[in-house]
Amino acid sequence: MKYALPLFALLLSSCAANVTEPARVSGAAPQSAQEALRPYYARLDVKLPKAPANPALSDDTVITRFAFGSCVNENRDMKFWDVIAAQKPQAFLLIGDNVYGDTRPTNGADIPTLTASYKKLNSRVEFDRFRRSIPMMTAWDDHDYGANDAGGAFAFKEWAENVYETYWGSSDEVKSRPGVYESRIVGPQGRRVQFIMLDGRFFRSDLATMPYRDPGPTLGWYIPNMDPNATILGKAQWDWLAQELEKPADVRFIISSTQVITDAHNFEGWTNFPKERERLYALLGQKGVNNAIFLTGDRHSGGFYKTTAPGLSKPLWDFTSSSLNFAFGKGDGSDREPDPRRTGGFWGIPNFGQIDIDWAAKKVTMTLRKDDGSVIETQVANAID
């Protein structure tokens, strides 16, 4: 039987329905919405969708080209999948808003719009063809997490995690812990690529917002959250990241669904949590990580950003690619969002990111491409140790 109770009714029923559970026998009340919902989810009888089969990326692969992108609306044109495949990437990273399955006012705690969006994606032949031919790694953002701009307080996040891990066939390691972060090192010694896929949703503290005003701000409502206890990654993920950065790798790609470097807007990003970004930069400096490049999405526009960080001898790059098929602009939107850290334009047209690694020259070429494969902009980073 499939349940679809409103949350307020669900919380009441879950407190009374199963008196044999230890928390109920002891009289202890649930300490969070997530805890209150667990008995409900345990009773759900739902067959969750799964993505088409995906070829494995061999651990000894010498990576010379991969691609990445974000923001796929499952109802829109999908020609970009064939265009990316024509570039012959050895892997593809889909780094958030992989479907638009947000909650609706009528949704139950089983988030039916999320599973419906994944089923719709499965019906798209271009995605099916791509998925069966190019190895993929994934991260999530808000629209496939389950609610716009949601973080750790999202009541349905444990079910959203189950849907995500089932659909994408997450590893046993990912399934064994809260959140969906993971890391992988590919390639032989001297040509090792590390992919670090962060989870900026499951543990994230609440966003701080401006007071209401009319008309509203054109570049978002959020302001920096300066609470010293506020977090993006949460303690367990921070500890894990520190361990991952100690592993030997020749170049590292740190994937964040939201932008890391820029302060030019008040939408979501690491700019919302300055102390967490300082901690990230400090960790890279402490570990001597001079070979990291951030890959980010979310913004429905693409561009390149560069900054310096204490303890690092090389600049940090943030390569934003968004959206694959759901862009909001018609070209370069730099005038709307000026940013001294951005090295070129801010392209509100459908795009994907391509990374080419020249191991002999120790150079990483980063290319932002249109959905027809043509080049928008290119930057080169000397990021290989």
pLDDT digits (tens, 9 = 90+) for 319-359: 999 999 999 999 999 999 999 999 999 999 999 999 999 99
pLDDT 10s digits, 201-256: 999 999 999 999 999 999 999 999 999 999 999 999 999 999 999 999 999 999 99
143 and 268: one domain?
A: yes
33 and 98: one domain?
A: no
162 and 297: one domain?
A: yes
33 and 116: one domain?
A: no
Considering the entire predicted model, what is its pTM? Answer: 0.93
pLDDT 10s digits, 71-115: 999 999 999 999 999 999 999 999 999 999 997 777 789 999 999
Q: Report the Cα 385 to chain-centroid distance in Å.
A: 26
The parent domain of residue 221 ranges over: 47-381
103 and 29: one domain?
A: no
pLDDT 10s digits, 162-211: 999 999 999 999 999 999 999 999 999 999 999 999 999 999 999 999 99
SS (H, E, C) 268-321: CCHHHCHHHHHHHHHHHHHCCCCCEEEEECCCCCEEEEEECCCCCCCCEEEEEC
66 and 212: one domain?
A: yes
> Domain containing 198 — which CATH number?
3.60.21.70
Q: What is the mean pLDDT of residues 255-263?
A: 98
73 and 1: one domain?
A: no
Q: Is the pLDDT of residue 4 over 90?
A: no
**348 class by beta-carbon count within 10 Å (0-12 exposed, 13-18 middle, 19+ buried):** buried
151 and 27: one domain?
A: no
* pLDDT confidence band for 27 (50 / 70 / 90): low
75 and 223: one domain?
A: yes
9 and 93: one domain?
A: no
Domain count across the chain: 2
53 and 18: one domain?
A: no
Q: How much is the mean pLDDT over the chain?
A: 93
226 and 305: one domain?
A: yes
